[in-house]
Amino acid sequence: QPKRNAAFGSVGRRIPYRVLHVINQDGESLGNMHRADVLRLMDEQGLKLVLLRENVEPPVYRLMTGQQIHEEQLKRAEKKKASPKPGMYVKELSFSSAIAKNDLETKTKQIAQWIEKKYHVKVTVRQAK
């Protein structure tokens, strides 16, 4: 059972499959190849092999330069950062209407930090007795 690659990157020379579907660095399909032929091709062209899809028969790999791998990793990191997090964060803050000035300033700074982090902020003001 091959290990699942969590990160996008070169698989090096450890290829758990005998037959691979290979795509070159320009995106053109080279068809199904034996792993020995793929290793020879990697050495000749100075490229690295990256797993694209593992759950198909045969698994799909792509030959890429180190620069292409780095750019793809950056794209995926940006996409992950931009995607919304599961669940919406709601921060709640409550205070009395008789709050001291310095306490109010402290709480407003906290609210500003939460808003910068894109949290939804719910503020409740209780009436002083």
Q: Tell me if residue 99 falls in helix, strand or coil.
A: coil
What the block records as the tokens of 91 is 């921060």
Question: In this structure, what are the phi and psi dihedrals at residue 3, rounded to the nearest 5 degrees?
Answer: -70, 145
- If one compares 124 and 82, the residue with the highest pLDDT of the two is 124
Q: Which carries the bigger pLDDT value, residue 1 or residue 84?
A: 84
Please report the pLDDT score of residue 58 as a whole number.
85
H-helix or E-strand containing 28? none
Q: What is the mean pLDDT of the chain?
A: 83
The whole-number pLDDT of residue 106 equals 93
- Give residue-wise pLDDT tens across range 18-51: 888 998 888 888 888 888 888 898 888 888 888 8
pLDDT band at 5 (very low <50, low <70, confident <90, very high): very low
Q: What is the CA radius of gyration of the chain?
A: 26
- Helix or strand (DSSP H, E) at 124: strand 120-126
Percent above pLDDT 70 for the chain: 88
Domains, the chain, with CATH or none: 19-82 (3.10.20.80), 90-126 (3.30.110.10)
Q: What is the pLDDT of residue 109?
A: 94
